[in-house]
Structure 1
């Protein structure tokens, strides 16, 4: 069947597409590098005449034009599923708000939510001969968005890689109400980061020996997991598998180094499975039409049961700080959101349930407080007031700093306190001991 006529009938300008959004509407803007561009620009020009528009999105890789209008808080709210720098820098402007969730729940939230979804807009690859557009590296929850929306607008971008997968990776022209052909901007890039720091290397040198041949890997967002990935690419490991929430540049380096085969995966054998991807052009070129890579809905990828079914699952994530009870904060500085829970808790739980699995939370022992100019410990007596416990103390497994590694599973409170203080920065240990004593979690016979 020739779908070109349907395509032509639904082809509209960005201005026409933006005109369907009304005051009071709920609108979905896409996800990560799939966030729309042309319609956003058109909507920004008319947003001053609208009020109470409620927009959902997340992991913005560029600042939308609607953020730049005068007094945006008077016209719309941005409701983020997962904060990143673009979003959190606008929190104090009164129009950006965080939605707490486990990322794996997102498709269900769309299906079950009582609020309507009036308009959904996202970037896609050009339509193929069978009438399908591809969501690119943003399969994630987009099928649930499309199913919920009253009006679906796709913004075609010739630079969008076609990311092969199964259910949820595509949208058919019959599901689309409007097609917009934008200016085909380059896909947003997230830098892979500079050379690994000495601290990154020290942490990687502790984690990589814990990874067996044939392990299945997940890497979180951040410089330290990426540095560990780089070291894996240079290691002697072989037959690794990939099952990860976010596909990052380090996986490309591992694949190019011949480390990834996926032969030992219990499910999706031979496939690198992921929910979304973002990185440099190298990553997008690698994912484009690559049958080894499998884009899948996040409710499948991040499901604890899926993760647990993969033997020797290794989950590597980072954190903002951790307290002596073993609570991990990976998403806020006090009440100020930095990111979101994402899939960290799911992968921490799933890795522990995996046969031979391990989860690692990696962080530098200290950070420089920009306000005070003082070096502060990331291992704290208790989490800062208002900080979020992303991983509860009962779920935490391995904690790694440049000074060592500890497995908290099965440790009593005094053992936890002692073990965590032992991997804290030496200059911070005496103060941590004093605080542990006040909280009655320091045993007199503990090491000093």
Structure 2
């Protein structure tokens, strides 16, 4: 028996025993995204239900589904749940009043643990099974795991055989010697989602964007129907020499890569590699990422660092938003008190593209949305509802895109911004927006009249 095999056996425990490690008053952290320990979470939930624990604080981000441990304590008598970026399940828990938001930039989260703003007694982390060299690969999410491992008093890994083994440029795995306990899970398939079909409106937005993407550009794309449509258009158009430096690796990148559009040879940072910090999408994406030397995961403080992003020329950052106000402020995380997600890395990449030589930052959204009652509202608004979180300040907003066109705001005065934004608002709301702009003293007689 090898040294690694012997140590592995000594550290191997059950999921129930892993949950038993927690003591009342502990601060525990789950790996974020796909790295959440779904198997162990169920055993922790049982201890919560049986009232064996009190004053537990759990921190994670974008939990896949709904945490059983959090749901087991609907009155928050035993566990407090903090989260810097919501998944749909986290959003439900927040609406129930049992999930707190941590305002943050994704690139800054490592410092929360490095400087002890968030204490960490036990880290529970889902990984691949141990490889022949004694390493547990983080799979789909590099993010800030290294900082968690270095600051946790106890490290517990939950292995899952369905996790892709993702090659990295830095800190993509933890060695057995740094792990205190190992739990072999039931190997339930990790969560995946098929690409969302683009709506007709999103296809129009994608049509605008493809016209401003040049050969050799370095792209950052998010998830959703519009990025999927844009990726398909790029693949069809055969735009060559593209590079990828992105927070999130998504299915549209696979389409572009297979079409021969991505070479990563024109990048100045991480040349030759698709650089990312986490991936989420379909099984096709996961198969593409598995042991693929074209891809390299890096910690989020590197991938999302605006100073590093901007070292690439011609960065094109494409992100979604919920609303934009007439001054050019962007909200991509909340509407009033209703919290939807988080800042994530949007502002990181907006800054990176803004500073990049030849860079372009696009904030994209449909011009309207329809609520559950069937009433239509403009996404371009005079001002945000009270308590709305500002994701991108007006000083850093460059391009805003709807199905009615692209508004370029960089270098424009407030009244020129208002005119540009109203130009791309839905026609049914333009006159109302003009009236509000006049009230705000950002509309001049020289502005064109709206029909």
TM-score, length of structure 2 as denominator length = 0.97
Deviation of 1:221 after TM superposition, in Å, equals 3.5
Say if 1:266 and 1:443 are closer, same or farther in 2 by CA, change over 3 A: same
Write out per-residue CA displacement over residues 229-257 of structure 1, whole angstroms, 9 at most, x where no aligned residue: 23222222011110000111111111111
3-state DSSP of counterpart to 2:351: helix
Deviation of 1:70 after TM superposition, in Å, equals 5.1
Say if 1:417 and 1:114 are closer, same or farther in 2 by CA, change over 3 A: closer
Q: Which whole-Å CA distance do the structure 2 matches of 1:39 and 1:225 have between them?
A: 34
Q: Which whole-Å CA distance do the structure 2 matches of 1:121 and 1:427 have between them?
A: 51
Q: Which whole-Å CA distance do the structure 2 matches of 1:94 and 1:352 have between them?
A: 37
Q: Which whole-Å CA distance do the structure 1 matches of 2:203 and 2:118 have between them?
A: 47
| 8 A contact 1:225–1:318 mirrored in 2 | no
Deviation of 1:55 after TM superposition, in Å, equals 0.5
Q: Which whole-Å CA distance do the structure 1 matches of 2:396 and 2:308 have between them?
A: 18
Q: Could you tell me which of 295, 304, 308 is aligned with 2:306? A: 304
Write out per-residue CA displacement over residues 389-436 of structure 1, whole angstroms, 9 at most, x where no aligned residue: 110001000100000101100111111111100100011100000110
Write out per-residue CA displacement over residues 196-228 of structure 1, whole angstroms, 9 at most, x where no aligned residue: 211111101111110111111101233323332
Q: Which whole-Å CA distance do the structure 1 matches of 2:259 and 2:112 have between them?
A: 39
Partner of 2:107 in structure 1? 104
CA RMSD of aligned residues (A): 1.2
3-state DSSP of counterpart to 2:444: coil
List runs of 5+ in structure 2 lacking aligned partners. Answer: none
Q: Which whole-Å CA distance do the structure 1 matches of 2:230 and 2:440 have between them?
A: 35
Partner of 2:372 in structure 1? 370
3-state DSSP of counterpart to 1:71: coil
Say if 1:316 and 1:351 are closer, same or farther in 2 by CA, change over 3 A: same
Partner of 2:394 in structure 1? 393
Q: Which whole-Å CA distance do the structure 2 matches of 1:444 and 1:37 have between them?
A: 60
Partner of 2:188 in structure 1? 185
Write out per-residue CA displacement over residues 348-392 of structure 1, whole angstroms, 9 at most, x where no aligned residue: 111011111100000000111324x32111000111221111100
Counterpart mapping for 1:205-244 below 5 A: 205-244=207-246
Bigger mean CA offset, 380-389 vs 282-291: 380-389
List runs of 5+ in structure 1 lacking aligned partners. Answer: none
Deviation of 1:118 after TM superposition, in Å, equals 0.5
Deviation of 1:72 after TM superposition, in Å, equals 5.2
Alignment: residue pair count: 446
TM-score, length of structure 1 as denominator length = 0.97
Q: Which whole-Å CA distance do the structure 2 matches of 1:341 and 1:225 have between them?
A: 18
Deviation of 1:188 after TM superposition, in Å, equals 0.8
| 8 A contact 1:219–1:226 mirrored in 2 | no
Partner of 2:421 in structure 1? 420
| 8 A contact 1:2–1:129 mirrored in 2 | no
Q: Which whole-Å CA distance do the structure 1 matches of 2:29 and 2:378 have between them?
A: 39
Bigger mean CA offset, 310-319 vs 222-231: 222-231
Q: Could you tell me which of 196, 204, 207 is aligned with 2:206? A: 204
| 8 A contact 1:66–1:72 mirrored in 2 | no
Bigger mean CA offset, 322-331 vs 54-63: 54-63
| 8 A contact 1:73–1:93 mirrored in 2 | no
| 8 A contact 1:320–1:378 mirrored in 2 | yes
3-state DSSP of counterpart to 2:395: coil
3-state DSSP of counterpart to 1:18: helix
Bigger mean CA offset, 162-171 vs 356-365: 162-171
Say if 1:332 and 1:14 are closer, same or farther in 2 by CA, change over 3 A: same
